[in-house]
Structure 1
């Protein structure tokens, strides 16, 4: 079998090498306290997009540090009983996508919520002193500041906050909510289930933001991780602060959060992935303590993978 990483036996035993900060749990408890103190000021605006069997809204809420966060919200028209909901998270620098590709879940009788990550390709604000998109650089945003100011800390909290908002909607059964996503979206689905353990089913495909030091060790700081290489080249060319840098990144390393997950997980991974290396994904998967399964595609990388969408759809039917 061709390989770009460890053997499959090694992958199944791998637990990651990026440092975990000693105060990691206190960091996230402090962050969640801040999130829960925020008045979400929820707003639902009917969308111009419409279909006969769904109500479609632009949903806005206020997240930590005052940012207004946008999501697409679709619910079955004339639903008479609380029903399941699915949270969808998008890839790095992208957005929540089109309305039409969420209707397969509405056809099941589910609500769908697709969040725009703050400062990326959608309508959510990056409140860090600018208006509009900041596109990339989000991994290193706040890296030279206090760890409470890491941008991905705020994005992670947005996933938990929107989950809580959705669970409180009168038309949604708060005990039947799932989360899914691809790449960054896969990472955020795991984060959402970690910070809001009531999430029942989680379906990430090749999750990003796992085991940063392993990516550097493999000389794969390119594509979505390229900003880390640029950070070292410009700001720490002799790596004098290497350990401190990776330790601070440990606060937003998904593998350090997933032990909190209580929901059922199904993960897809391509063994030829050179953008989010398989070992980094297994570092997270191997630390999940809840019921889980992994679907392995030996010849696929960071690309469209046949069949996994159908697997996820059937998985979410079980909500």
Structure 2
């Protein structure tokens, strides 16, 4: 197995390189207060896609800054009430995907929610209104403006708001809600469970958006993280303000949210992952204080991990 990062005995103690803003906690408490003050104006529309054992809905709600956020919602027809639910998040630039890859949870008697991230490949709105560059990626969106304008701040809040909406559905048991997703979806799973700590179980797969400075120092600011390199090349070519930039990115670094998680965690990591390096994933995992475990795939990178979908389903049966 080629070693592209730290050996496992070092990964399990690694604490991260990115600086944490001094007012990080106040920043997120202010953000949560803003989210909770919103009238979500929830709208349910029956979807064109339907199956005999469940009802499928297009669900819209209003998030921070007024954006309308789209979600797929599948509700089992023959299930106890209240019953468990799952919220799911997709990879960077994609969307919530097909209905048919979610209905197994409805067949088990679970409600299932899957969110389109604002401004990416689905139907959710990106309301914009930021100063400075919006070119080449969402990590740097708002980086030249006030920290409250960072786009991933709003996306993180959308995940928590969706979880709260799911928990308030009369058919859902609010103490039995889980979260799942891979890559960006893994990052959003962690952010969701941090900002809505009632999430009972979470299964992030190779989470993105963690320990930005480590990615940069490893010269892996390519692919999903390429916008970091492009930002410095275009806006700070001599890297005079690198520390200030990484500190600002610290507001949307999931490793600093991870300590808020109260639910049980199942993490999957490929040790050959050059898209989201293993050390960046463990920077977040090692800060989680709740019950947790990881599954290691030594020869796998940022790709399908054999058997982990089944492990996730079995894990979520514990809700």
Q: Shorter-chain TM-score: which interval?
A: over 0.9
Q: What is the TM-score when the length of structure 1 is the normalising length?
A: 0.97
Pairing of 1:177-196 with structure 2 (within 5 A): 177-196=177-196
Pairing of 1:31-180 with structure 2 (within 5 A): 31-129=31-129, 137-180=137-180
* Equivalence for 1:238: 238
Q: Secondary structure at the match of 2:12?
A: helix
Deviates most, 13-22 or 75-84:
75-84
* Equivalence for 2:248: 248
Task: Please give the alpha-carbon distance, in whole angstroms, between the structure 1 residues aligned to 2:80 and 2:203.
Answer: 28
Q: Secondary structure at the match of 2:187?
A: helix
Q: Secondary structure at the match of 2:15?
A: coil
Q: Deviations over 1:134-158 (max 9, x none)?
A: 9951000000000001000000000
CA contact (8 A) 1:93 1:135 kept: no
CA contact (8 A) 2:74 2:106 kept: yes
Task: Please give the alpha-carbon distance, in whole angstroms, between the structure 1 residues aligned to 2:79 and 2:271.
Answer: 42
Q: Deviations over 1:23-66 (max 9, x none)?
A: 00000000001001110000000000011001000000000000
**RMSD of aligned residue pairs (Cα, Å):** 1.2
* Equivalence for 1:208: 208
Task: Please give the alpha-carbon distance, in whole angstroms, between the structure 1 residues aligned to 2:96 and 2:315.
Answer: 21
Q: C-alpha displacement at 1:78, in angstroms?
A: 4.2
Q: Deviations over 1:110-145 (max 9, x none)?
A: 000000000000000001149xxx995100000000
Pairing of 1:269-280 with structure 2 (within 5 A): 269-280=269-280
Question: Structure 2: 5+ residue runs without aligned partners?
Answer: none
Task: Please give the alpha-carbon distance, in whole angstroms, between the structure 2 residues aligned to 1:139 and 1:6.
Answer: 25
Task: Please give the alpha-carbon distance, in whole angstroms, between the structure 1 residues aligned to 2:168 and 2:316.
Answer: 20
CA contact (8 A) 2:205 2:269 kept: yes
Task: Please give the alpha-carbon distance, in whole angstroms, between the structure 2 residues aligned to 1:16 and 1:248.
Answer: 15
Indicate whether 1:285 and 2:285 are aligned. Answer: yes
Question: Structure 1: 5+ residue runs without aligned partners?
Answer: none
Q: Secondary structure at the match of 1:213?
A: helix
Q: C-alpha displacement at 1:81, in angstroms?
A: 1.4
Task: Please give the alpha-carbon distance, in whole angstroms, between the structure 1 residues aligned to 2:81 and 2:57.
Answer: 19
Q: What is the TM-score when the length of structure 2 is the normalising length?
A: 0.97
Task: Please give the alpha-carbon distance, in whole angstroms, between the structure 2 residues aligned to 1:64 and 1:78.
Answer: 34
Indicate whether 1:219 and 2:219 are aligned. Answer: yes
Q: C-alpha displacement at 1:79, in angstroms?
A: 3.4
Q: Secondary structure at the match of 2:181?
A: strand
CA contact (8 A) 2:186 2:203 kept: yes
Q: Secondary structure at the match of 1:233?
A: helix
